[in-house]
Every structure is written in structure tokens, then in C-alpha cells.
Amino acid sequence: MSVRLARLLSVALIGACFVTAPAFAKSHPKAKARASAPASGPTLIWRGDVATANGVVNDVAAAWEKSGRGHIELQPFNTASGIDAVANGTADLAGSARAGDGSAQNTNLTFTPVAWDALVIITQSSNPVSNLTLKQVHDIYYGKIHNWSEVGGNNAPIDVYAVASPGDGVEFSLRSLLFGRGNQPVAAPRLYVNTRKLEEGIALNPNGLGVTTLAGISGNGKLKAIPVNGKRATVANVADGSYPLFIPLYLVTNPSSPKAASAQAFVDFVQTEPGKAVLRRHAVLPYQDGSALTAMDSSRRSRILAEVGARASHVTPVSAPGATYAARAAVAPTSPDTIAARTALEARRAEAADTARLNRISGSVSDVTVSGVAHANGSATTVSRNGSKDFGKVTADASQTATTYKVTKGDTLSSIAKRHAVEVAKLREWNHLKNDQLKLGQVLRVSKR
């Protein structure tokens, strides 16, 4: 290429840049406006869960910047990352869908409730299930309900999705309500980094189920929030407390941060009338508008636990069936911990399959030996007498359990498993089933032997 031709091309390219630059600016007015917006205040970094980002921070931050108070850099990810960042000084504000957990780290931070949102149990919009009771939601997460047909849906497995982080605000809050403890393990083998990714996964799976917030799915036609106890998740039903799964959303600050005063000023701005107006546009209730919810919170929690048959506890939680193995397998399927968890799970299942179940038992016994309990049916509860080993006046009625079962009209794999006190996975294994589809008259093996 000649020197003259190279110079001509350079001039042409420079001229093109001058021509296209004004056109680009006209087609991106928001970018131009943001660049020219006053920034008299400091830049604050916000990090936290997607739920708080969607419901509280995004547009409030824009209003804050428009007022000339400074700039908010948004880094939505999840609750744990936000709280960690505020604690170690790499962020000035965090968003959380749960209160502090009492840990040493959380104790040094300030959790300010700024809004009320609804926890929503979601599935793909094509799923026909139109209602779940609190007890059904509890049993799905605990691993007692496996199939949509058990809650009025199609004969298909329920694929439970959850956020992997144990400190995630949405997951922690749901488990606190249903189990009385936020760190309760659940039977959810499909794990995601945050609720945004969880929502995307469920949108692709008509059998998927998970929890997120009302603000998080507002306007998303691919997902639907399943009513709970006959109540839809709406701002009105949250405001009057009739929808049972409502939670506060928090902004978290560090009093020892160099920007503590500016961060607190943003928290205060959220609670002004302009800030609350923004919240109302995002399907959340300003915290001050829900004073009645604060008053009823304790009784509401007790009522939910009573309904699902759980109680609040501060001891180490009892794992849901398969929860430990499922969680480990999803993250590191070949690790020694995962293999150990699988071995423990298989041992528990084998023990449960070989354990006798007796019914109509009363009184106590002494000097009794049992030579065999295979295929026994029923249940038993024993109570010691004044700490002694003796029990007397026992009557027991045990019948041999059938080893096969013939499928009749209305049967599902889950209902057959429940009737014979075995797990659905075992029925699939014993009968070489690839899915939950059954045929009328089909003979199934329902016992290990």
C-alpha cells in the first residue's frame, strides 16, 4: 500500500468517527445524561442479593444520583457476598433478604429494614398446579413429597431448585418460616449461585420449583407464583398479612466504615417519600407502611410452624432425607465428602428397609429377644418406666408385608411408595423404571426381598 493511500484511509476513518459520535449520543440519551449528572457526593458501592436489588436499590439509586447526592455502584450477586464485602470494607452497603444471623460478623453490622416483600414459590407458567398449602411446601422441601401428582398436578417428579449459599437471604428466610431454623438442609439437588439464575433454570423446566421474591419475578411471564393456602402473593395481601410468607428486606451498613455517614444517608433516603414511591412501583411495601406486619410477626411464625408440624430450634438441624448427599453431589460429585455422604445415605435407607414396624402396642416388656423382623408391618413407640429397662403388658400385631403390588386406577409411583413405606427411588431401582410412568395392571416389586 502506498504512503499516499494510507494517509487517505486514515483521514477517512477519523472523519467517520466525528460523524458517528453525535449520532451515538442521540441514540443513547440515558448514557449521556448519566455522564453529565452531578456527582457532588461520594461514590458508594452496594453489593447484595438480587431480591433487594430488584425491589429496593436499582431505581432508588438512580433517584439518589439524580438528586446530585453522589453515585451508587451496583454489584448484585447474593446475600453472603454483600455482607462479607461490607464487613471487610470492600463495599459500603449490602442488600439482604434476612436479618443478622447472630454471628460475630453480623453483630458488628447494622441491618435496617426498609421494605416488605413476599417469598413466592415459583414454577414454570405452564405448570397446572394452582395452590399449595404450607404443609405441602414444607414436605416438598423436606423430601416427603416427590411428585406433582401428590399436589394436584401432572404425574411428574418435582425438581426442587435452591440457592447454594447457606447464608442466602431468600433461602434462609423461607427455611426459618417452615422449619424454625434458617440453616435447615433441604432436599434440593439443583443448586444455583443466586435467585436470578434459579429463576432462569425454572423458566426452562415445567417440573421445576423454587423460591424467590415477588419483586424478583414481577413482569416475568415465563414464571408463576403458586398461591399458598389459597392466597396469591400480592402487595395488598402482604400488607394485610393474609399471604403468610412475607419478609422484610434490609440494607446493611458498617458503623466503622469511613463512609458510614454517607451510607446511612442513602438508607435514610430510601425511607423518604420519594424513596418509598420508587419502592411501591416495584411490588414491594415500604417498611413503615407495614407496621401491622411487625406486630403480628411472632404469632404468624408460631402459626406456620404449628401448621407444618415443626418447631423453632437453635440446635443443629436434622437433615432432610438425602439433603446432605444431594447438596454435596451438586457441587463436588467425586469428592471424598460426597462419597461418604452417599455411603451414609445408602446405609440409612438399608436400615429403614429392614426395620420392623409394629402397631397396636401398649405397656412394656422385659427379657424379650427378636430373631427376625424382615417384612414386618406396623409401627411402635416405647416409653421407659422410671428409667428402668423393663417394659410389660405388650401386645403386638405384625403382618408380613407383600413383596409385589399390582397397579390400579389412580395409583402413582409416589402413592405406592408411601403405602408400602419405601422410597420412590427404590421402586424405580427394583423395577428398572426410567421414569414415574405406570400402566394399569402393572406388577411392581415393593420390597427388597
Q: For 48-69, how does the pLDDT look when each residue is reduced to its tens digit (9 = 90+)? A: 887 777 768 888 998 898 888 8
What is the pLDDT averaged over residues 75-88?
89
Q: Are strands 208-213 and 159-163 parallel, antiparallel or unpaired?
A: parallel
Whether the per-residue pLDDT at 318 is higher than 80: the answer is no
What is the per-residue pLDDT for 344? Answer: 65
Q: Give the DSSP H or E segment for 115.
A: strand 110-124
Q: How confident is the model at residue 100 (pLDDT cuts 50, 70, 90)?
A: confident
What is the per-residue pLDDT for 341? Answer: 62
> What's the angle, vertex CA 106, arms to CA 102 and CA 108, rounded to 5?
115
DSSP code per residue over 412-430: -HHHHHHHTT--HHHHHHH
| Average pLDDT score, the chain | 77
Q: How confident is the model at residue 237 (pLDDT cuts 50, 70, 90)?
A: very high
What is the per-residue pLDDT for 299? Answer: 93
Q: How confident is the model at residue 315 (pLDDT cuts 50, 70, 90)?
A: very low
What is the per-residue pLDDT for 135? Answer: 97
What is the per-residue pLDDT for 364? Answer: 40
More reliable by pLDDT, 383 or 103: 103
What is the pLDDT averaged over residues 415-433?
82
Whether the per-residue pLDDT at 16 is higher than 50: the answer is no
**Which residue in 194, 196, 180, 55 sits closest to 116, CA to CA?**
55
What is the per-residue pLDDT for 2? Answer: 45
Contacts of 412 (CB under 8 A, 6+ apart): 147, 149, 150, 155, 436, 438
**Look-up of cell digits 459520535:** 21
Q: CB atoms < 10 A from the CB of 52, how many?
A: 32
Q: Are strands 110-124 and 246-253 parallel, antiparallel or unpaired?
A: antiparallel
First and final C-alpha spacing in the chain: 85
What is the per-residue pLDDT for 268? Answer: 94
Instruction: Report d(CA 369, CA 230) in Å as an integer.
Output: 51
Give residue 241's Cα distance to chain centre: 21
What is the pLDDT averaged over residues 123-131?
97
What is the per-residue pLDDT for 242? Answer: 97
Is the distance from CB of 48 to CB of 170 less than 8 angstroms? no
**Look-up of cell digits 460478623:** 105
Instruction: Please give the single-letter amino acid code of residue 102.
Output: G
What is the pLDDT averaged over residues 209-221?
92
Whether the per-residue pLDDT at 14 is higher than 60: the answer is no
pLDDT in tens, 373-414: 333 344 333 333 444 444 344 333 434 445 888 888 888 887
Whether the per-residue pLDDT at 247 is higher than 90: the answer is yes
Is the distance from CB of 221 to CB of 125 less than 8 angstroms? yes
Whether the per-residue pLDDT at 28 is higher than 70: the answer is no
pLDDT in tens, 333-383: 555 555 666 666 666 556 655 544 434 434 443 343 333 333 334 433 333
More reliable by pLDDT, 395 or 236: 236
Rounded to the nearest 10°, the torsion over CA 277, 279, 285, 289 is -40
Give residue 265's Cα distance to chain centre: 31
What is the pLDDT averaged over residues 298-319?
77
> What's the angle, vertex CA 18, arms to CA 16 and CA 23, rounded to 5?
90
Q: Give the DSSP H or E segment for 237.
A: helix 235-239
What is the per-residue pLDDT for 319? Answer: 42
